[in-house]
Amino acid sequence: MPRVRTRHVAICVTLLVWVYYFLPGDEAGFLQTLRHGADHGSTATVARYMNDASSLPRIHATPSSFDWSSVNLTYPPSRTPRLPAPFTTRPRIQHAFTSEPRDVRAVQEARRLEVKRVFEKSWSSYRSQAWMKDALKPISGGYVDQFSGWAATLVDSLDTLWMMGLRDDFYEAVGAVATIDFGASTAPTVNTFETCIRYLGGLLAAFDLSGHEVLKTKAIEVGDLLYGAFNTENGMPVDFINFADAKTGGGLIVESQVVSASPGTITLEFSRLSQITGDDKYYAAVSGVMDVFAHDQNATKLPGMWPMYVSMRSKDVVSGYQFSIGGNADSLYEYLPKAHALLGSTDASAAKYEAMSRAFMDTAMQNLFFAPMITGHEDILISGNVDVHAEGPSLDPESEHLSCFIGGLFALGGRLFTNDTYLDTGAKLARGCAYAYRSFESGIMPERFNMVLCPGPNRRKPCAWDEARYATEAASRAQHKPHLPKGFTTAKDPRYILRPEAIESVFILWRITGDPVWRDTAWAMFEAVATATETQFANAAVLDVTVKGADKEDYMESFWLAETLKYFYLCFADPGLVSLDEFVLNTEAHPFRLAMG
C-alpha cells in the first residue's frame, strides 16, 4: 500500500506541476475548479462555492418529538453573568503566509487530494453501510449506536464535508440532520460530555461555516437538552442525563465523582451558543461551573492544576492526588486558552480564563513535562503524570496519545499571551509526539507508553544516551518487551484507535510558525496511519503499532472523520481555510467563528 499511495501522489504531482507551469494562473485555477469542485482555498472561497444559489436546496428542520425548552426546571440555573461583549482586538495567531512556488503548491495539492480520497472512501462506506447510525464498523461493514443513536458520525462530519467542498454530500447530510429526533434516545442516559462536543459542537461549527438556519435550530435543541444537565440543587451539571427524568423537570442528582474533563469541557459550546442565539442562559450556566475551578485552582495538591477526579456534588476540585493533561483531564485544560480566545478578558466573568490558563501552563511546565532519554540529539519534550503524596510530587514518565494535544495548545497560548516560552515549549512537545510516531515499526505511536527520565533536577534538560540506565529502567517494567524501540520501556496499550491529538498539534504548529517541516511531518504521519488502518470499507483501529501489519479492530470512532482526517487535510489546504485568526476549534475539531466587536 505505501508504494501504491506514493505512486498515486507522484502522478498527481506530475499533472499538477504541468497545470501550474504551463497554464496561466487564471486558467489553471479554472481547470482546478472544474476538476476538484472549487474545494480548495480560503474559508470565504469555499463558502462561495458551497452556497452557490443555483444549487442550494431548501431544507427545513423537523422539530424533535420533545421540546426541551418547555421543561419547567426544579432548579433553574442562574441567569447571570451576562455574555461578554465581543473581542475588539486579538493578537495575531497565524503566520503571515505568502504565495508558495508552484512546484511546492503542486506537492501540497497532491497530498491534500490524497487525504480527501481517504476521507471520501470512509464517508461513502458510512453512507452506504451505516447511514443515520452513530458509527460504521469498518471491517464487517456493520454499525454501532453508542452515542444515543443520533447519527454521531454524520453530525461530527458536517464541517469536514464543508471544508472539503463536498457539496452534494454536505447538503444530503444537512437534510438528514434536519430530521434527527433529539427527543428520543437509544439509551436511557445521555453522556453530557460526548453530546456536547460531538453533537452540539458539530452543529454549531457547521452553522458557523455555512450559515444555514436549520443547523442553528438543531443546535438549540441539543443545547436545551444539555441545559437540563444543570437542573441540580447546586447548579453543577450531571455527567449523565437520565432522559426520562430530565423530561419531567425534576431535579437531577450530581454524581459523587467524575473525571475533571467532563464538567470542564462545556465552556466553548455553551458560550458560542449564547453568542449565536443572544440568550445568556447557556453562558451563565457554564460560567458558574468554571468559577468553582477558578476559585480553588491554587488550593490543590499541585497548585495551578486540578486532580483527574473531582466531585461536583460537593464542589470539591482539590482533594485528588493524581495530575495529568492526558485522558480524564485533557480538555479541561484545552478549553482555558480557547475560552479566552473566544470571549476575551475585558469582562469580569471571562477574565478568569487567561489567569487560569497561565497558571496551569506554568505548573505543567515545571512538573509534568520532561526530556526523555533518547538515542539521538533531538530537543523534545514528553508530558508525564504526577502523583502528589506527603513527600511531594512524583513524576511518572508515562504518556499517552491523548496528551499530544498539549503541544498545539501551548503554541496557541504562546500567541494568545505573547509568551515565547509557551510557544517554544509547545514546539518541543509536538516534536516529542512526532518522534514517538516515527520510532515505532508501524510509524505510529501507541495509545500509552513509558520512557526514561533524564537525570538531574531540571527534567526538561536533554541528556546523553545511557545504555545501562535504559536497561535498568526497562527491566523494572513488567510490560517491557525486547522489540520496543530504544528509549521506550513499555507500550502499555499498543493500540492506535485513529486518534487525532498528534496531528492536531502538528497542524497548529504549521499554522503558527509557517515552518514547512511541520507539513512534511504531517505527511509522514498520514502515510503511516493510512497504510496501517485501511480496510475494505474505511479505516480501523490497529491492535499493536509496535509491529507492522498488526491485526485491526472493527472500530472506527466518529472522530476519524471529524478530527483526524480534518487536521491532516488542513495541513495541506490553503492556510486561509479555517484560519486560526478567525476560528477556535473545540476538542472535537469543530471550528467556532470568533466574534468581533
536 assigned to some structural domain: no
Q: Which of 383-422 are b and which e, b meaning 16 or more Cβ less than 10 Å from the residue's Cβ? A: bbbbbbeeeeeebebbbbbbbbbbbbbbbbbbbbbebeeb
122, 539 in Cβ contact below 8 A?
A: yes
Catalytically annotated residues? 194, 330, 447, 501
136 assigned to some structural domain: yes
452 assigned to some structural domain: no
471 assigned to some structural domain: no
398, 448 in Cβ contact below 8 A?
A: yes
pLDDT at 88: 84
229 assigned to some structural domain: yes
pLDDT at 9: 55
300, 321 in Cβ contact below 8 A?
A: no
13, 110 in Cβ contact below 8 A?
A: yes
Q: What is the DSSP letter of 529?
A: H
**What one-letter code names the amino acid at 118?**
V
497 to 156, 195, 436, 468, 543: CA distances (angstroms) = 17, 20, 16, 34, 8
pLDDT at 345: 82
CA angle 347, 260, 86 (to 5 degrees): 20
**What one-letter code names the amino acid at 156?**
D
479 assigned to some structural domain: no
pLDDT at 83: 97
Q: Among residues 108, 49, 93, 36, which one has the least CA distance to residue 578?
A: 93
467 assigned to some structural domain: no
**Main-chain phi, psi angles of 393, to 5 degrees:** -70, 140
Q: Grid coordinates 518522534 are at which residue? A: 435
pLDDT at 346: 85
> What is the residue range of 316's domain?
2-368+401-414+559-593
Q: Grid coordinates 451563565 are at which residue? A: 284
Give DSSP secondary structure letters for 255-295. Answer: -S-EETTTTTS-HHHHHHHHHHH--THHHHHHHHHHHHHHH
Q: How many domains does the chain have?
A: 1
pLDDT at 7: 55
438 assigned to some structural domain: no
pLDDT at 199: 99
217 annotated binding-site participant: no
Q: Grid coordinates 508552484 are at which residue? A: 102
pLDDT in tens, the chain (597 residues): 455 555 555 555 454 544 444 433 432 432 354 344 444 589 999 999 999 988 899 999 999 999 999 999 999 999 999 999 988 889 999 999 999 999 999 999 999 999 999 999 999 999 999 999 999 999 999 999 999 999 999 999 999 999 999 999 999 999 999 999 999 999 999 999 999 999 999 999 999 999 999 999 999 999 999 999 999 999 999 999 999 999 999 999 999 999 999 999 999 999 999 999 999 999 999 999 999 999 999 999 999 999 999 999 999 999 999 999 999 999 999 999 999 999 998 899 999 999 999 999 999 999 999 999 999 999 999 999 999 999 999 999 999 999 999 999 999 999 999 999 999 999 999 999 999 999 999 999 999 999 999 999 999 999 999 999 999 999 999 999 999 999 999 999 999 999 999 999 999 999 999 999 999 999 999 999 999 999 999 999 999 999 999 999 999 999 999 999 999 999 999 999 999 999 999 999 999 999 987
CATH number of residue 278's parent domain:
1.50.10.10
pLDDT at 578: 99
